Copies of this chain bind each other. A is one copy, B any other.
Amino acid sequence: MVSNKQVVLRDYAEGSPKDSDMEVITNNTIIALKVPGGSDAVLVKNLYLSCDPYMGNLMHKFDAPTGFTSYTPGSVITGYGVCKVMDSGHPNFNKGDLVWGTTGWEEYSLITKPEDLFKIDHTDVPLSYYTGILGMPGMTAHYGFYEKCAPKEGEYVFVSAAAGAVGQLVGQFAKLMGCYVVGSAGSQEKVDKLKEKLGFDAAFNYKEEHDLNAALKRCFPEGIDIYFDNVGGKTLDAVLLNMRNNGRIALCGMVSQYTLEQPEGVKNLMNVVTKRVRMEGFVVFDYYPFYSKFVEKVLPHIREGKISYVEDIVEGLESGPSTLAGLFSGRNIGKQVVTVAHD
């Protein structure tokens, strides 16, 4: 039996999630480092926890039938993480295995549906990558871009939230395809990173542009073939004015909308008709059965240095609440990770 530090939702967030909506509980909980007898659960030690935009949604009370369920006030929050198996009642998992999947924001978690975990077979890359480029965001970028955007060489590609966990990969995949790629992000530092480290052809800070339509016209005088949308709202509306005939828009998420009382209205949908645009939403879960194929495709790019991955790693579960809250003000550059333990 050991004590088990936890990050708990204090109460539902109002507007943008704040640090104070969560609390770190250090003394109240203890956990046995053993799986209960007869159970097929696994007991894991959490190493890296992933901060993802969808978690902001779960911090709000909602009842839409989206397949998601809000967090429960007073309970530990959950999210993707990289974990080490300490004890297993499941035939597929052994003590010492490294896995990634949904876990608790705590030092140790008892995972009662271990069949949803993914095994980590390759450890020659940073383990934290399994919260990002080799985890859920990586699959999101890969399948969203290749399957939904149907890219062709030479096409004009725009990515919003381009310095984030998903956007930075979409941009790099697009460059590997021979596309022209522009990203938007929320600070000069991020814009510099996109151009200097991640190979984007151009980038702009949307917070400095009073007219997004004009910014897009400047970056895409010929218009946009592909838009990978991570933000929704005003950016999507401005993109619609700049789409080319037969353009494609992958709707990945709408982080600009999650913390609003009412979503913003998108007014320019008539352009979807006149420009024959295909707009398609997708959910990464649907692609999880193809995880090993995905790893086979992306791992060589990482090993050969064809794709880089920018992470923003913060040490210690105590930093969890402020780090997660920071995601919603765009404080992070690259994939936001919280380290709980290194091994």
Name A residues whose Cβ lies closer than 8 Å to a Cβ of B. Answer: 66-68, 232, 236, 251-254, 257, 262-283, 286
Contact = CB atoms under 8 A, between A and B. Distances in A.
B232 A252 contact: no
A269 B278 CA distance: 14
Nearest to A277: B281
A268 B251 CA distance: 13
Contacts of A253: 273
Contacts of A279: 272, 278-280
A222 to B, nearest CB: 12
Given A276-B282, A283-B276, A270 B257 contact: yes
Contacts of A267: 262-266
A269 B67 contact: no
A273 B282 contact: yes
B273 A283 contact: yes
A225 to B, nearest CB: 15
Which one of A254, A257, A271, A273 has the greatest number of beta carbons of chain B within 10 Å?
A: A273
11 contacts: A68-B274, A232-B269, A232-B270, A236-B269, A264-B265, A265-B267, A272-B281, A274-B281, A276-B281, A276-B282, A278-B280
A68 B270 CA distance: 13
- How many copies the complex holds: the figure is 2
A48 to B, nearest CB: 26
B269 A251 contact: yes
A257 B274 CA distance: 14
Given A251-B269, A265-B267, A279-B280, 16 more contacts: A67-B274, A232-B270, A236-B269, A251-B272, A254-B270, A254-B273, A263-B269, A263-B270, A266-B269, A272-B279, A276-B280, A276-B281, A276-B282, A277-B280, A277-B281, A278-B278
A66 B269 CA distance: 13
A280 B274 CA distance: 11
A268 B65 CA distance: 13
A44 B281 CA distance: 48
Given A267-B262, A267-B263, A267-B264, A281 B286 contact: no
Contacts of A269: 232, 236, 251, 254, 263, 266
A276 B253 CA distance: 11
A279 B232 CA distance: 15
A224 to B, nearest CB: 14
B278 A286 contact: no
A66 B274 CA distance: 6
B263 A268 contact: yes
Contacts of A257: 270
A286 B275 CA distance: 11
Find the residue from A251, A253, A267, A283 having the highest chain B CB count within 10 A: A251
Contacts of A264: 265, 267
Nearest to A262: B267
A55 to B, nearest CB: 15
A253 B274 CA distance: 9
A66 B286 CA distance: 36
